[in-house]
Amino acid sequence: MCSQYLPRNARLDVVNFYNKKASVYSINQAARPAQWNVVGYHMFMSDTPGKLIMRNSKDEQCTAGSCFWIADPFRHMEW
């Protein structure tokens, strides 16, 4: 029921200051809830900062018409 309010195109920016590269993802928050979902793979150096930025946008699309985005948790995995 709540998924109708979640955007199908929430924006996530992944910024890596080591190579000065930013990747932008469009995340469907209404799909595959309550589990870890892979967004992408990025190489970060331990001595160089990086950041993840989630923000709302007027371009968000959801079934209900008014969207509520949720700041999802993120985790890093070592290979």
CA distance 79 to 66: 39
SS3 category, 42? coil
CA distance 55 to 69: 8
Residue 11 has pLDDT above 80, yes or no: yes
* Strands across the sheet containing 21-27: 21-27, 10-16, 50-55
Domain that holds residue 40: 1-79
pTM metric for this prediction: 0.78
CB 15 within 8 A of CB 55: no
Total domain count for the chain?
Answer: 1
Residue-wise pLDDT for 18-76, tens only, equals 878 889 999 999 998 788 888 888 888 888 888 889 888 788 999 998 888 787 778 77
Mean local confidence (pLDDT), 6-11 = 91
Residue 13 has pLDDT above 80, yes or no: yes
CB 33 within 8 A of CB 3: yes
User: What is the model's pLDDT at position 19?
Assistant: 78
